[in-house]
Amino acid sequence: MAYRDKRPVDELSIEELERILTIRKRELREKQMARMKKTGRVLPTDVPKPSITDLPANAPISEIINQQLEALSGGNGTPTSPTVSSQPPVIKTASPRFDDDERLIQDLAELRQRQQEARDRVWRRFVNTSLLLVEVAAVFGLFVLVFMLFQSVQELESQTAAVQQEANATRSAMIPTLEPTPVLRLKLADVVLPGGHIITESGGVRFKQEEIPSHLLPLVKEEIETPPITRPPKTPETALRISIPRLNLDESIVQGSDWEALKQGVGQVLNGARPGDDTGNVVLAAHNDVYGELFRHLDQMQVGDQFTIQTEQNVYVYKVREILQVEPTDVWVMQNTGVPTATLISCYPYRVNTHRIIVFADRIN
């Protein structure tokens, strides 16, 4: 028993479709022929064809024609005239043509077209897929190329950095090492002349910070608040005593010009100068209205007056060269002039103390 093929038309091949259509065409033709026979539209095809009796090869042509006429006339020697029918003649063909043939041919053409379209869709799908794979491969290759390029750049930068470091180390080794810059430490004597003070209304005395420039005060404030508690060690050439005949003054000298040193007497500014040096300025300061008023009459000194400074080994004589009144910040008066000198400093005027009186003297012995 044969089973019916249940596959859809799109899955059939061209040969299978043509075979199906041929079978259907034959079935339709047979049905059409059966209807036409019932209606008398088909003539029987079993009428015997007129035959030509065998004649000798040398028979005359007239005899052959007579025989043919007899066959056409039914054997009675009289040709029959054709019957004229009012119906249109029926054309007999070996294979009759039906209206269903065109429809079948059209169906076959549509099926072939659909199969061609299906094949085209498959081909286009294959081409699109192939192109997509090619694009994906190209993008992947591009990413790989960019990654390799990035790695190459990184490697080049690393090598360049290593070379630069090595070259920098070589150049640094060739640069001579400089001595560190000494830290600048500002002293109180570098900012203001010694001896500045204020007598309060209650009779007390304090250091006059107002004389120090405000931008320099933080640099020397520690020295003001914490005076040194130790003094430089004494040497054979340390200044020990000053004698000024015009002022009837004969006092010991304290090393230092800070607040505590001037409380004790005449103080020497610690600038490294000694009376016996060939160059240097021995600077001595004392108060004029507090702590013994040792330099109260310093303004009475005159040019040409002499005074002495004593050490353990010698006594040095100085002669007054010049007397000036200056501002508290005129620290230039304590500079080294290149010759052995001495400078005496005190506040001025008496109990006003807005300026300083300066006595310059040269060593003469």
For residue 9, the 8-state DSSP code is G
Place of tokens 């404030």: 221
Encode pLDDT of 114-147 as tens digits. Answer: 888 888 999 999 999 999 999 999 999 999 999 9
d(CA 194, CA 269): 8
Query: Residues 6 or more apart from 189 whose CB is under 8 A from it?
Result: 257, 269, 270, 271, 331, 334
Do the beta carbons of residue 53 and residue 65 sit within 8 Å?
A: no
Encode pLDDT of 352-362 as tens digits. Answer: 999 999 999 99
Q: Which of these ranges, 32-46, 145-159, 285-299, has the smallest mean pLDDT?
A: 32-46
The average pLDDT across 330-341 equals 95
Q: Is the pLDDT of residue 326 over 70?
A: yes
**pLDDT confidence of residue 254:** 95
Q: Is the pLDDT of residue 29 over 60?
A: yes
Q: Which of these ranges, 46-50, 80-84, 217-221, 352-356, has the smallest mean pLDDT?
A: 80-84
Q: What share of the chain has pLDDT > 70, as a percent?
A: 78
**pLDDT confidence of residue 84:** 41
Do the beta carbons of residue 302 and residue 320 sit within 8 Å?
A: yes
Do the beta carbons of residue 359 and residue 365 sit within 8 Å?
A: no
The average pLDDT across 230-252 equals 94
**pLDDT confidence of residue 75:** 46
- Please, which residues bridge with residue 341 across strands? 281, 362
State which H helix or E strand residue 154 sits in. Answer: helix 99-174
**pLDDT confidence of residue 136:** 93
Band (pLDDT 50/70/90 cuts) for residue 86 is very low
Count CA within 13 A, CB hemisphere, residue 245: 9
Is-cis flag, bond preceding 349, omega within 30? yes
User: Which tokens go with 325?
Assistant: 């009144």
d(CA 361, CA 348): 19
Encode pLDDT of 171-224 as tens digits. Answer: 888 887 766 655 556 788 888 999 898 888 888 898 888 898 888 888 888 887
Q: Which residue has the higher pLDDT, 16 or 280?
A: 280
For residue 334, give Cα distances in angstroms to 50, 62, 191, 337.
170, 179, 11, 9
Q: What share of the chain has pLDDT > 90, as a percent?
A: 43
Q: Which residue has the higher pLDDT, 285 or 32?
A: 285
Question: CA nearest 254: which of 240, 275, 236?
Answer: 240
357: number of Cβ within 10 Å: 20
d(CA 283, CA 263): 17
Q: Which of these ranges, 15-19, 165-169, 244-248, 329-333, has the smallest mean pLDDT?
A: 15-19
Band (pLDDT 50/70/90 cuts) for residue 341 is very high
Residue type, 154: Q
The average pLDDT across 32-60 equals 62
Q: Is the pLDDT of residue 53 over 60?
A: no
Residue 82 backbone zone (phi > 0: left; psi -120 to 50: alpha; other: beta) = beta
Q: Which residue has the higher pLDDT, 189 or 70?
A: 189
**pLDDT confidence of residue 44:** 57
Q: Is the pLDDT of residue 77 over 50?
A: no
User: Which tokens go with 228?
Assistant: 């040194």
Do the beta carbons of residue 341 and residue 329 sit within 8 Å?
A: no
